[in-house]
Chains A and B, each alone.
Chain A
């Protein structure tokens, strides 16, 4: 057996180390280490509850709005408050902007450049892919960065800035829009649609969103221009549908709470769809450099023990009724019942292909929803209700970041934060082993992957890791 330590792992958010036990060039066991600890859950204790809105977005620069929404939702639930309808729409729009920008950044800047590596020089698609996706110098980045920056003007209009906005409040949004600003918003959404339709999909978003089977996808791809079709071509050639299978359990807290209801529902899919029961969530610190025992996050604690025997990460292991679940765009769409993704997962299980495909389909599904939300904003109607928090109480705030299920569990005593626990999407996906020794999703997904034991390099390992779009700064926080 050979032991390989991979790191620093780049083009992920934050720092990641992966240790692989390999036999004959194949991964037999993987151990995922989140090597940085800052202690946000400790920092928050004793603060004024609304200060969480300043502090928690700064856990993560790429999921900053999601962190803000989770905290805001917990505070909202603590206050028993219903936000103003304009405020709900604003929250959906700001959140969707972050999530779609993250999907775009992941695809173009983090994930695709690995296919432009010399390891693939002999593949028939290599010249096209290298020209387009080479890290830093590829032509796609030069198109995507301005398009992304222009799309993020939504944040300038509706959130002041990104990352680290304070505009989303328990009662709605502190940033009312005037008529002229709503029109600017609609215009910039159309501009981003134009970019996606021209460069990413080579088709109307609605046509992509409606692809409902593997056959329909194959037919649609035939002769199609655009970056998505290029990805599908190389994915087929490399068999990315057979790479990176985890436990095939999928968690979603439900996304985009618009006034008419959630755009994507909450639930758990593990062979079939089940309703979400958050009481079944436990966090297990057994293999983390943390004290404590498995507990529900409402009772959870975070106390570092740097020399703990058996520890190999700062990340706790979340489990759902003891079950390993993954989370992210694929999970959201499995729970929502997207027919193409359900067919793919039932046939082959979760995979690099399925995770990346789900993000692309979300780009096509969510932007039209944003256009509807923007049209529903009403000048002159309220944006934000006044918040009055109780002196004591407990509440949870659940939301969906780009990377999946994000939960905050808040306890307030005598007007101060007395407990704050966070389970981020990559805490689920990159969790270590639990007390029973069951590996987390990435640890399972890496088993069986081929590795060059000499150099320790494996571009396939890179694909599997990045297919989860990990956010390491959220993972441990």
Chain B
């Protein structure tokens, strides 16, 4: 048995998509999994019965310490605008900016979880001049600090746990909740950006079904081509920290399996990459963003070598939307 953990979930400057992604949880179904982790859902804006005054009372009781708050999940960025007032999101029915509620509640919580890249770093809401002043719980883009400040530690002595991703994979959140419940989650389980290493120690490239095309640098040139999307179509799977092609989404999917580039959505700043998302920035024909941990000279040499060795099958299939050359069938001669 695990101890009972009171969880409060709030949404601010985001799209609600992390909650919707959470509903995609495969079996055991979501509520069973929460129960298995001993989670007592104090309130969740999309799922709970309590509304209006009943909901406000839950929040107030958590904020003033009458209600033990074990886990505070924040989804969506924290909106500091206009001019630092936080009035771009007044929590309805309370007349108070959401950022004030979050500051108060975070000070009471044993664990504080940023659900999604918005709550972690500011996320998509911070692109294009960041009109609403969107920041994360402990980061403003790549800069440490955010709403709660660099020195913030929750009651557990951990900083905010940044389950970055746009949206989160439901498994990332549920794994972290279960790990907390089983007391298997500690400071060393977070990477340098405070992301859980249980998914962030992988690269999106791991398990990519287009790997044979990557090996031979047989590249897609337009959407629906089967080839590798790194050279031309902006794919950052070889740099992005996540296990998207190992864990898979909605049964059998991932961005790359869906035919489009990885946009590195677990990384701070993914919202403003400095180039159109669907194009790979290059210098002298060579992509700027090389695979993580790969020396540039080696990459260039290996790419040239593998391109020259590309089999006809791989070269032609890379530019087609279905298999035009099947792998050869090695028949033994029979009498």
Closest Cβ of chain B to A306, distance in Å, is 5
Q: How many chain B residues touch the partner (CB < 8 A)?
A: 81
- Quick check: B93 and A8 within 8 Å, CB to CB? yes
Does B224 sit within 8 A of A, measured CB to CB?
yes
List the B side residues contacting A154 at CB < 8 Å. Answer: 250
Once A157-B252, A160-B258 are accepted as A-B contacts, the answer to whether A455 and B47 lie under 8 Å apart by CB is no
Q: How many chain A residues touch the partner (CB < 8 A)?
A: 92
Q: Which residue of B lies closest to A110 (CB)?
A: B46
- Quick check: A306 and B55 within 8 Å, CB to CB? no
List the B side residues contacting A78 at CB < 8 Å. Answer: none
Residue of B13, B134, B253 with most chain A CB atoms under a 10 A cut-off: B253
Q: Which of A164-172, A354-362, A440-448 contacts the other chain?
A: A164-172
List the A side residues contacting B29 at CB < 8 Å. Answer: 141-142, 145-146, 149
- Quick check: B125 and A38 within 8 Å, CB to CB? yes
Once A8-B94, A38-B125, A162-B250 are accepted as A-B contacts, the answer to whether A109 and B20 lie under 8 Å apart by CB is no
- Quick check: A160 and B256 within 8 Å, CB to CB? yes
Does B190 sit within 8 A of A, measured CB to CB?
no
List the B side residues contacting A14 at CB < 8 Å. Answer: 11, 16
Q: Which residue of B lies closest to A138 (CB)?
A: B31
Interface string of B167-195 (1 = CB under 8 A from A): 10000000000000000000000000000
Does A17 sit within 8 A of B, measured CB to CB?
yes
Residue of B29, B125, B250, B251 with most chain A CB atoms under a 10 A cut-off: B250
CA distance in complex: A456, B93 (Å)? 11
Does A245 sit within 8 A of B, measured CB to CB?
no
Does A383 sit within 8 A of B, measured CB to CB?
yes
Closest Cβ of chain A to B156, distance in Å, is 25
List the B side residues contacting A158 at CB < 8 Å. Answer: 258
Residue of A16, A160, A165 with most chain B CB atoms under a 10 A cut-off: A160
- Quick check: B224 and A145 within 8 Å, CB to CB? no
- Quick check: A38 and B13 within 8 Å, CB to CB? yes
- Quick check: A8 and B49 within 8 Å, CB to CB? no
Majority DSSP secondary structure for residues of B touching A: loop
Does B278 sit within 8 A of A, measured CB to CB?
yes
Closest Cβ of chain B to A410, distance in Å, is 15
List the B side residues contacting A462 at CB < 8 Å. Answer: 51
- Quick check: A50 and B258 within 8 Å, CB to CB? no
- Quick check: B16 and A43 within 8 Å, CB to CB? no
- Quick check: B260 and A160 within 8 Å, CB to CB? yes
- Quick check: B52 and A174 within 8 Å, CB to CB? no
Between-chain CB contacts (< 8 Å), 26 pairs: A6-B93, A7-B94, A8-B92, A9-B52, A11-B47, A15-B92, A42-B128, A61-B15, A61-B16, A61-B167, A64-B17, A145-B30, A145-B31, A148-B24, A149-B24, A152-B251, A153-B251, A155-B249, A156-B252, A157-B252, A163-B17, A164-B166, A167-B259, A174-B223, A175-B224, A306-B88
Q: B residues bordering A, Cβ < 8 Å?
A: 11-21, 23-27, 29-32, 41, 43-53, 55-56, 79, 82, 85, 87-94, 124-125, 127-132, 134, 166-167, 222-224, 226, 248-261, 263, 276-278, 321-323
